[in-house]
Structure 1
């Protein structure tokens, strides 16, 4: 798997994933006043964003032909 996520994209993904994870935990703990159904939605989104941000590979990007990585790693 060639990297297709650039450094700025990685930073945004990791930060957004962390916020989504905290929101998920907040909903589960009844700290955030949102419907309970959103807890797993935020949790799954958080995991996807964190994994793609840390690994530098996004499957959707590869299907769409998007590459935000500035260095050619192929």
Structure 2
């Protein structure tokens, strides 16, 4: 599987997921909002860990820098 996410993209997604977790833990969000944001946060963590965003492929996007030799 080819990675298409750069380091900054992965870092920002991870920070956003942590932010959602903090909001939920402090009781700031709840109910359907927490559920939707929790699913998005889980997807962010998964894609950050793997380094590939499936939505980037159909759009032809990549935030990863190519190695220049």
Same fold (TM over 0.5): yes
Q: Does 1:13 align with 2:13?
A: yes
Aligned-pair RMSD on alpha carbons?
A: 1.6
Match of 1:40 in 2: 35
Residue pairs, 1:20-59, within 5 angstroms: 20-26=20-26, 31-32=27-28, 34=29, 36-59=31-54
Unaligned runs of 5+ in 1: none
Aligned residues: 67
**Structure 2 residue 57 is matched with structure 1 residue 62:** yes
Q: Distance in 2 between matches of 1:24 and 1:60?
A: 26
Report the secondary structure of 2:14's partner residue: helix
